[in-house]
Chain A
Amino acid sequence: MTSDGGTPPSRPSTSGLSDDAALRIFRTMCTIRSAEDRIVLGLNSGEFRMTYYGVRGQEVIPAAVCEHLRRDDYMVTTYRGMHDCIAKGIPLDELVAEMCGKVTGTSKGKGGPMHLSDPQSGLMVTTGVVGGGLPIAVGLALSSKLRGTDQVTVVNFGDGATSIGATHEACNLAALWEVPVIFVCQHNQYGEHTRFADFTRTRSLADRFRGYGMEARTVDGNSVPAMDEAAGEAIGRARDGGGPTFLECMTYRLGGHTFGSTTEYMDADEYSRAEADEPVARYRRWLIGDRGIGEGVLHEIEDDVAARVEEAVAAAKAAAPPGADELFTDVFSSQGDLPG
């Protein structure tokens, strides 16, 4: 969120966003929002049962980041990562099926919503362990450096993950080796039920992580132009051999830690201000007001993504769960190696 109360900077000329790119980002954000709304609807009605970590309010970050990524670039994310997975291009039907534990899912239903991965789309790991993804991202980026490709790796994690040792080992190593990784800290103000100010004296994570010897910036993670510019710069630098960047992307978790969990510890005024300025509607206003895009164009996109989400849900519901034989596949490359 911006210090000026959340109004998006109206500087279309400096945003560098073409109309096509702006609309692609809008489509991605709408797909994320539509998928979340549909899942929440199903969770409320009892149609679905899963542990769901909401992404409402954090749609801009991956939508803008992925505008600068290629399919062969790598991404690592967390349990709160459906938005990242959609933006990186995991097919919707496989994503929803995995969340429902179906054999048509990305992991044949064996991973679940916390462990989505699809190397075809470059989404390499979704971890449920806070901070677990960062060292792995350094290794993915190292592979690009060693092979001389220009692929980059983006790793997403929360503000709370900056308290874990692995995060610091990874950042130091990435800076030392100058590997093409972008550390995307989705700073949504909370780690589970604890406010940022209650788990660190650091005011600016960008300042702290700059100390490892890499570029670090604080960005309005709810502003498409700001995120687009910052992501473009960081990804460009990594691709050109300029090493890692830490992006502290300021956002707000519009919901409890998981679906159905309490929000009693969250500041009610702050929450309602954030909700009133939630980023999908904010971006929509900007597209119409500042970019002069017709409402009809946006409607068409919204209707189209809603239909696609509904199709994915229908397909997931119709799909079979994994058969009993799947219990012992994928433990090793060969089932013959199973002990006992």
Chain B
Amino acid sequence: MMDRRSQEPAGAPEDPAITMSEAVNQALDLAMAEDPEVFVIGEDIEDPIGGVMKGTKGLSTRYGRERVRNTPISEQAIVGAAIGASLAGMRPVAEVMLMDFFAVAMDQVANHAAKLRYMSGGRTNVPITIRTSVGGGRQFGAQHSQSLEAWMMHTPGLKVVVPSTPRDAKGLLYSCIFDDDPCIFMETMSLLFIRGPVPAGRFELPLGVADVKRAGEDATVVTWGWQVPEALAAAEVLSAEGISVEVLDLRTLVPLDKEAILASAAKTGRVVVVHAATQFAGPGAEIASMVSHDLFGRLSAPVERLGAVYSPVPYASGLEARHYPERTRIAECIRALVGHS
């Protein structure tokens, strides 16, 4: 972990500001230019559409329709075909339009991609990347809004990556494509079109390394994806109240940067894990349990969790706003944590 962390190049303020969608596009472009074994398959990914979230815009024009292939609406075949080509040594990047549609492809994902290395005693491996966009907060209803990282994390053999900034998206996607294991790359819809500085050219970030998005002393928010900007907004509000909050963006859930979580938790003594996935049996439970166990007796307050409530995602905007965590509830939770001791 340590040497991986030291590899990380520092961001420069003069880096051009682009969207996460453009950053994804750059990573795909780089990988395809560098390695002829990289190809992309998915629904509506060819130009002129270039993916419904524009991640593959221009790529079919640049690399041709052999390497950037539209598919029928066949998620099971998309993932399965990617697995097959990867067994033969290629590096396919599959796109599943929306994370909810993983449900259709889960046999290929969970029973095959995740397990083939192990079941073959290491004789085969599945170096695929599955990109998917994640809804939520947009009144898309119960079947187009789910953050399903817990499904992935609960399946041994899958790597799970959730960037919160354009910069992280570029560097992490590049690493996923050249990683030798199956990677699930979650692109949060509400973050896809926000601009941020991204290094031009080849840029790689290691998997399994969390990033302190804001340093603080009194409490730690452990979070990822959509909830990172929410946590940062809460931290900003709280700083005016004299509460100093650290925001730790995990960026990858598997591999998990246990070291960074424990270091921040040990420093502040107060932790809340925040995520858009369902709180019950969610990723926060795993992290909270780990922190509570490893830092037993050294915390100033019990570890808190803030995730989506136990219900399908409601349509009406007022209900949906109550369904997911957001900045005001995160701030309230931290105030309570700090008030605890």
A residues in contact (CB < 8 Å) with B: 49-51, 101-102, 107, 109-115, 127-131, 160-161, 163-166, 191-194, 198-200, 262, 264-265, 321-322, 324, 326-328, 331, 338-340
Contacts and interface: CB of A to CB of B under 8 A. Distances in A.
A197 to B, nearest CB: 12
Contact of B72 (A111, A112, A191): A191
Interface stretch (B43-51, B151-159, B234-242): B43-51
Contacts of A114: 140-141, 143-144
Contacts, number: 120
A160 B77 CA distance: 14
Contacts of B315: 101, 107, 109-112, 115
Interface in B286-334: 309-312, 314-319, 322-323
B101 interface: yes
Contacts of B73: 130-131, 160-161, 163-164, 191-192, 199
Nearest to B47: A265
B143 A193 contact: no
Given A50-B139, A101-B316, A166 B104 contact: yes
Contacts of A51: 139-140
Label chain B's interface by main secondary structure.
loop
Contact of B316 (A110, A130, A191, A193): A110
B129 interface: no
17 contacts: A51-B140, A109-B315, A109-B319, A112-B316, A115-B143, A129-B103, A130-B73, A160-B72, A163-B73, A164-B73, A192-B43, A264-B48, A322-B318, A326-B314, A331-B310, A331-B311, A340-B280
Contact of A321 (B101, B142, B311, B317): B317
Candidate in B49, B140, B322 with the most chain A CB atoms within 10 angstroms? B49
Contacts of B75: 164
Interface string B69-80: 011111111000
Interface size class of B (residues with CB under 8 A): 35 or more
A156 B317 CA distance: 28
A263 B4 CA distance: 46
Question: Which interface residue of A49, A165, A193 has the most chain B CB atoms within 10 A?
Answer: A193
Contacts of A331: 310-312
A131 B52 CA distance: 19
B95 interface: no
B279 interface: yes
Contact of A49 (B49, B139, B311, B323): B139
B143 A129 contact: yes
Interface in B60-110: 70-77, 100-101, 103-104
Contact of B141 (A115, A130, A200, A322): A115
A322 B319 contact: yes
Contact of A194 (B44, B139, B311): B44
Contacts of B49: 193, 262, 265
B311 to A, nearest CB: 5
A324 B144 contact: no
A165 B74 contact: yes
Contacts of A163: 72-74
A326 to B, nearest CB: 6
B72 A129 contact: no
A111 B313 CA distance: 9
A200 B72 contact: yes
Nearest to B314: A110
A166 B101 CA distance: 13
Interface in B210-224: none
Listed residue (A194, A328, A331) with the most chain B CB atoms within 10 angstroms of its CB: A194
Interface string B180-208: 00000000000000000000000000000
Contacts of A194: 43-44, 70, 72
Given A160-B72, A194-B44, A200-B72, A112 B139 contact: yes
B319 A326 contact: yes
Given A111-B315, A338-B310, A327 B279 contact: no
Contacts of A49: 139
Contacts of A130: 73
B307 to A, nearest CB: 10
Given A115-B142, A127-B143, A338-B310, A327 B70 contact: no
Contact of B70 (A128, A198, A340): A198
A102 B139 CA distance: 13
Given A324-B319, A327-B323, A340 B279 contact: yes
Nearest to A198: B70
Contacts of B104: 129, 131, 164-166
Of B73, B139, B310, B316, which is in contact with the most chain A CB atoms at under 10 Å from its CB? B316
B313 to A, nearest CB: 9
Nearest to A326: B319
B316 A128 contact: no
Residue of B43, B140, B322 ringed by the most chain A CB atoms within 10 A: B43
A130 B104 CA distance: 9
A128 to B, nearest CB: 4
A339 B100 CA distance: 23
Contacts of A107: 315
A326 B76 CA distance: 35
B139 A321 contact: no
A199 B317 CA distance: 36
A204 to B, nearest CB: 16
A115 B313 CA distance: 12
Contact of A109 (B76, B311, B316): B316
Given A115-B143, A128-B144, 6 more contacts: A50-B139, A109-B316, A110-B319, A128-B142, A193-B52, A199-B71
